């Protein structure tokens, strides 16, 4: 059973089944991911601290192609796709 954090903090109905959920796939079609971390540096001038701050950002990497799963990134880090 998934906990609230794994569900994005959302409550699901008690009769929910995983078979009712849509599978999430990488652009390459793979459905298996592994944990990764990206680091973002924040200037000390913005934070008022004496040194720069480092923020770890959890990412999910495709086990087939290695790309970060864009759909699960924070909005500010998502790559925008240009539709041609």
With 50 as the cut, is the pLDDT of residue 5 above it? Answer: no
Burial class (CB in 10 A: 0-12, 13-18, 19+), 26: buried
3-state secondary structure 46-72: HHCCCCCEEEEEEEEEECCCCCECHHH
Could you tell me if residue 38 is inside a domain?
yes
Could you tell me if residue 4 is inside a domain?
no
Could you tell me if residue 33 is inside a domain?
yes
Bridge partners for 57 per DSSP: 38
Could you tell me if residue 39 is inside a domain?
yes
Could you tell me if residue 50 is inside a domain?
yes
Q: What whole-number distance in Å separates Cα of residue 11 and Cα of residue 5?
A: 10
User: Which residue range forms the structural domain that includes residue 46?
Assistant: 25-77
Looking at residue 81, what is its pLDDT?
Answer: 64
Number of domains in the chain: 1
Looking at residue 78, what is its pLDDT?
Answer: 84
pLDDT digits (tens, 9 = 90+) for 8-55: 667 888 888 888 889 999 999 999 999 999 999 999 999 999 999 999
Could you tell me if residue 10 is inside a domain?
no
Could you tell me if residue 54 is inside a domain?
yes
Looking at residue 1, what is its pLDDT?
Answer: 42
Phi first, then psi, for residue 59 (nearest 5°) are -130, 155
Match 């009712």 to its residue by tokens.
20
Could you tell me if residue 7 is inside a domain?
no
Instruction: Answer yes or no: pTM beyond 0.85.
Output: no
């Amino acid at each position: 059973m998934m906990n609230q954090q794994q569900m994005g903090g959302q409550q699901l109905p008690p009769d929910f089944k995983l078979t009712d959920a849509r599978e999430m796939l990488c652009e390459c079609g793979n459905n298996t991911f592994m944990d990764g971390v990206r680091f973002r540096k924040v200037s000390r001038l913005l934070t008022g601290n004496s040194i720069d701050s480092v923020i770890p950002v959890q990412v999910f990497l495709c086990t087939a192609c290695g790309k970060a799963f864009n759909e699960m990134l924070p909005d500010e880090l998502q790559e925008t796709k240009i539709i041609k």
